[in-house]
Structure 1
């Protein structure tokens, strides 16, 4: 990690940014398999148009007999369902990871091939746990069930922690990190767990776009109304179509046929926006810039 760094250019151009709000509206997801299992009684169109969500959320008898508004029932059901699904899926994966980490520890003298297999297992379990966590967050955003545990936080410790994690991945890819963090940043009102997800998602994308020997980095600075975090890489320029959909999580997942780094960057933008912040993408002097702006604590 290095301090604020970079060669001064004789000619500086103003960065160009596209805001999150400029992305086209996201179309509802449709799932033929689940649609076939939908209740026979046709329900009027609700606020939540995702068929995969409505299929299990709409219990006709409970909706019509409850004094609560329909949207409130759907919200509560969504949160309970996601909590149950998260527990059922994360539990077995976490158990597998615990035993794999135990086998990989120095107390076991494993053969080289066996140790390599255990390390592959650990990487894939970590990837599955991370993807599931982001998928749950995306679902909560879709049904407007994301509940933030907001606190007034100093962002610098979280930023430094994310840099340390990124350094490990950067060394493995032979990518050089250039990080500039000020001594002081204004406090921001955030959910620490969600901001951790946003930071790790942003780092994963700029590192994934960087080839060996290239540089990627982060610059943070204070704004009158919050904090500006600019993640950047020296990878290939974004096409206009990709730039327009940088923060469209469904478009990115379907385009890549996976919940990869582009999906994680899109989720980073969505989580920042859920905090009342902004997400922008731009370019300057051959670098692609991904900017996350968090509002200051009141």
Structure 2
């Protein structure tokens, strides 16, 4: 059923790096919710695996000294949804990953696996883009960090170098303090379906709650990799929280997104719902931030 040549159990991050260097063709396996399916389908016959599932040091959510939120790469979706730090400061991420698959998948699937797959439909990815997340990678050369936008290279490919594994996802304090967000997933069916399009929006309002000081809009399945909508974001800055302004910002996402035709949905349909989703997510984010969308 599973054509696996060998599986090596990592005892620490350093040991995982060592195993990856000793077996350069090996693939990392964590929860296995994606890798095992691929093996069963025959896409990776005779694969070697390095299991990092036992590395509890890569699990959990915590604060670093400067207020950065650190999410260990082996943290399950269920853990993220329930975690009090997530619920208090970036609750939209918990809501987004709570839409991944069914309960069994959310219990075993990890946020590191979800992002390292490099797929544009990952529910966590667009939300992490909207939080200006930083990816932490550990390899033979030590630890390096890069913005999540730079981590995604092309469809199905991320910037993982030989011997490296993802060890954490960081949300800087400046990226979440004062922001509220909302994520909308559109799928053909509500239960356990891959997103046709996903939209995550964060907003920071002025002290009087009447002006959009900063807005971040990110999409999944609007291009080959998750992406931001910089034209719409720039347009939003300094605009009032009015219906007209929200509509203008939502329409501006069409300047940035590049959806395609597929069996799941046509390009023009994805463009249509992308605008609608941006409008609804921005409206909800403004309300969560204590503002109101007015005439």
Query: Shorter-chain TM-score category?
Result: under 0.3
Larger proportion of helix: 1
Q: TM-score, normalization: structure 2? A: 0.27
Question: For the pair shown, which has the larger CA radius of gyration, 1 or 2?
Answer: 1
Larger proportion of strand: 2
Structure with the greater relative contact order (CA < 8 A, sep ≥ 6): 1 or 2?
A: 1
